[in-house]
Structure 1
Amino acid sequence: MMKLTYSKQGDYLLPDLIAHKEPEASPGKYAYLRREYLKEQHYGMFLSLLTQGTLNQHLTEIQEAAQARMTQITREMARNQQVNEQLKADNPMLWVGQMNNIRQAAEEIVMQELIYR
């Protein structure tokens, strides 16, 4: 168990708290969305991760997992819907529209699975 030390500030004794040093991370889209979700909906968990010094690590893991899952879902959906290079060559506008729909659907799945849990 940690021993707390106190320092006198005027008439008050305040605990000497030191935040854990965390490596800096450049968050991506999904890390940012997860951070905001935790701040607004699960503030206790957000503070716990922040004070333990594991928030950036958590956000980095979420970002990597979300990107990997997006790639996987997009490939599977494109294969299942037969949105391939042949369609891209024959009808580029149809291919773009279908790929946009697939990416949007994949992103909604990722948001539910990883960000808003």
Structure 2
Amino acid sequence: MEKTIYDENNGLWYELRGDYYFPCLTVPAQEQRPIGIWGRRHLQYIKTERKTLYTKLLTSGRLNTYLDDINEQATEQMLLLIKQMAEREGVTEQLKAQDQMLWVQRMNNIRDRAIEIVNHSLIYA
């Protein structure tokens, strides 16, 4: 018996293992891109809540690219939200020079609200 055979009907190669032929299937190599905190949070979400999407992205080799894109979008949205909220609420460098503790309180509050918005709109959506 031949070690490998090609089936013209479906275009697959088969490998002999023991007495049976098994299809030679491989998962495409994924481009390795660093994934930040937002990408890791979204990965955890889709692994538990959206298993079909996770499996589709994993088997197509687009998971890392998808997560990196989510991470970039979330980071940009977070920075934009913080900037806009700080301007609207009057949290400036002048306030920082006058009352540092008040500035820290307000910036922490703004950051926490921005995190909630990003989580709701991108990460857990």
With the shorter chain as reference, the TM-score category is: over 0.9
Shift in Å, 1:17: 1.2
The count of corresponding residues between Structure 1 and Structure 2 is 116
For structure 2, the 5+ residue unaligned runs are 1-9
TM-score for both structures, normalised by structure 1: 0.92
Task: Judge which range, 11-20 or 50-59, deviates more.
Answer: 11-20
Equivalent in the alignment of 2:23: 15
For 2:92 and 2:16, how far apart are their aligned partners in 1? 69
Residue aligned with 1:5, SS: strand
What residue is the counterpart of 1:64 in the other structure?
Answer: 72
Aligned-pair CA distance for 1:26: 1.6
5 Å-filtered alignment, 1:1-117, equals: 3-117=11-125
- CA RMSD between the two structures: 1.3
Percent identity over paired residues: 39
* Corresponding letter in the other structure for 1:77: M
State the 1:8 CA deviation.
Answer: 3.0
Of the structure 1 ranges 16-25 and 33-42, higher mean CA displacement relative to structure 2 is found in 16-25
Instruction: Give how far 1:16 is off.
Output: 1.6
Q: Which amino acid is the alignment partner of residue 104 of structure 2? A: V
Larger radius of gyration between Structure 1 and Structure 2: 2
**Unmatched tracts of structure 1, length 5 or more:** none
- Stretches of 4+ aligned residues off by more than 6 angstroms: none
Which of 1 and 2 has higher RCO (CA within 8 Å, sep 6+)? 1
* Structure showing the higher strand proportion among its residues: 2
The code of the aligned residue for 2:83 comes to: R
